[in-house]
Structure 1
Amino acid sequence: MKADYIITNYNSVTSAFLMEEGRLVKACPLYNGSILGNLYIAKVVNIVKSINAAFLDAGTGDYLYYPIADNQGKEIFTKHGNSTKLCEGDEILIQISKEPIKTKKGEATSNICIKGSSIIINRSGEIGVSGKICDEEKRNELKETLRKVIDKYSDIHAGAIIRTAADKIDIKQVVDEAETILCKLKTMIEQSAYMNSRKLVYKVENRYLDYIKDIIVRQKYDDFSIVTDIEDIFDDIKQMTSNLEIGGTFSAEKNILIKLFSDNMTTPSQVYDIKSKLEKGMAKTIYLKSGGSIVVEPTEAMTVIDVNTGKAIRGKNTENTFLKINKEAAEMIARILRLRNLSGIIIIDFINMKQSENVRELVEHLKREIAKDEIKVNYVDMTSLGLVELTRKKESHPLTLNDFR
């Protein structure tokens, strides 16, 4: 598959756009307002026993929700009273696990998690391996080798999740990355003991670099181009890729092109037709090539998506027509979830089909499409009314056109 990752100033907002085979599947404003993944020293301002949760002040502008049961025994206190439990006035090191979304407060956790290209370091005390690494011998070798490294950091309850990318690189590279992240995490924990509350300890920067690195290491695309007309960003990408090794090499044979766009007569936005593709993907009603359409209705509780036949009913074989529209709609819906960053509960009302084999074919097609998402999407069920239920993990707020203005 061919993909292009474009970073440019769109409507004066520095943004990144991912195209797969010319279709826009991901858009992200690169402003510095995100606090997801940042580490802070937070003060416990209130404990609500009825919901077994605390509310913390980390200086982020609003209180953070902190589920006590999920973090029991994992707290990293920088200031603590005499009680064995979490108390009001205590100060702890936390990480932002969920950003504030609409009326919901942001969420904090003590299970600090730092992502690398091939490994995720956390404080679970356990080692997990991606289910996509199928070679049992490789899985066991990775776990045994990493266990020796993790055990050296038992004082911070270190754990790890070995990512899919680890299957494509040498184990030594995975170990080296784990050592680097573990050392960084231990240093931050030790230094936090001398910091005041409402203090930023660690900020996730240049998220686009992590995203690019992840794509390259996982070798997700056969042909991958990175295009930008911003010189500072181009230099950052070149610096990152020059330090990156994939199985000992990083070269043209990987079909990766990094290009500084320098045409004074046009812009990357115009060349890749970003405006029309973004507006179409963000529209309430999206028209399909088959003649059907889908209507996207975000609500406070869930996102509802309706698939309509429109002008597509031609001839006598309506069942095949319905299947064709539904499958095209499934592909578009999977792209919309990524593009708009929709999360939580998603209900899809596909066109009703009478033949059970067509329903099964549609469901399998939808599962294949949502599996392409970087964020976990669960197919839950199809109800007796024919409504498909999905859930998508919440990480940050959903996007609209206003985020790019």
Structure 2
Amino acid sequence: MKELIRLIDVSTNTDNFADLNHLFLTIFCGQVHYLAGLHGSGKSALRNVLCGQLPAAAGTLAIDGTPVLAYTPQDAWAKGIFSIEQNASPMIPSLSIYENMELFYSAQKSKRSFRLFDRRNACKRTQALFEAYGLSIDSATKVQDITTEDAFLLYLLEAVYVNARLVILNLSNLKLSYMNNQKLFHILKQMNSLGTALLLICDSFSDQSLLPGKINIIRKGRIIKQYDSPAVDAAHINNILIPAEMTASPKNIVPSSGSITGIMELYYSNYSLPNYFANLGILSGDSPDSSIKFLKTDSLECFCSNLSIGDNIALVRYPSIAEKTGYIDKALLRYLEEEFNTVLSGFGAPLAKNMEDLSIAGKKILGIERWVMAGVRKFVIEDPLFGLDAKGQQILLRYFISLRNRNIRLIFVFYNLSELQKICDIVHICSHGKIL
């Protein structure tokens, strides 16, 4: 295979703990690379260097065997290197899909004029592309009339439309249903079969047998190990990613008196969780006055950042006091913080003195635990592992096991294969809110 990109002893200098540190990496045309690492390992820095958004302070970046010096995002585009994010699609909602495709092509091929393109042929080209990749979408549809997930898949196909040579995709931040995840890997596999190289970034590693490739483990800005997939399994990779102290079994785990139920919804939509579960009927056995707390993904980290941990707990646990007086005794706040840290210490999570000390996993735990402290014993939680690296996922899984042992009932909704399945007592497979 022809060499596409080579990074030789590349370092970055942004005064950031996630800088690259003498990194070596070679990507050949048509090759699939996974880049797996925890938060702060340098994944984003590597992506930014490849996309021309971050200059290398030292080392050499060579494209097609030629070292590049002044390398900008425009240069990356011109060389066919694209980074794709789910929530950063450049599509214009008021235009049709094929018009967006042609506009994207015009922007990448600066010699062409968007105003002069043949609409009929552009529509046919786009429709033929969709059919070739198995998407049943009318290319004349306006972008504002399609779902967010479909818009992301179309954004990916824009790279095909302009003959991208390397596509960089962050799998960690994707929120796709199981069905659309299958479509995603079908598209990626077909792109790769036509010669497009892929760099797929992930915080943790799951079974990527749908698209085998080379797995690169990055830590502290360096590639420390490389494996071929599927020659090595996901469990082995995650054992390397997760620090040794996190792989030990949680202490004081006793037979569960609570329960954990998983709901894998094949078709993601912005459901109202209470309505969704009313339709499913899973909670129908509970009395009407049961206290059930519904927590969407984004609400798990919804805090007053200028307040202390104790204040954020008190706002939920003692809302009447906080509302009437606007003041809570400092001794009580310290007690709440100590109680929270006692919970953290019970399953080996890092302790915290203030909000700044909390990791993403710690904030998610606080988002749930403050309701537990307020007396809630039943939770419906949407996709709680979203946005966490392998270490953070292990911390949260330990916490959920500890909740089950405290007789807390948990119901999780997730939209793709998840580590949560490992701790669930039962998993329901659902489609459009109906149990299959």
Q: TM-score range by the shorter chain?
A: under 0.3
Higher RCO (CA-CA < 8 Å; seq separation 6+): 2
Structure having the higher strand fraction is: 1
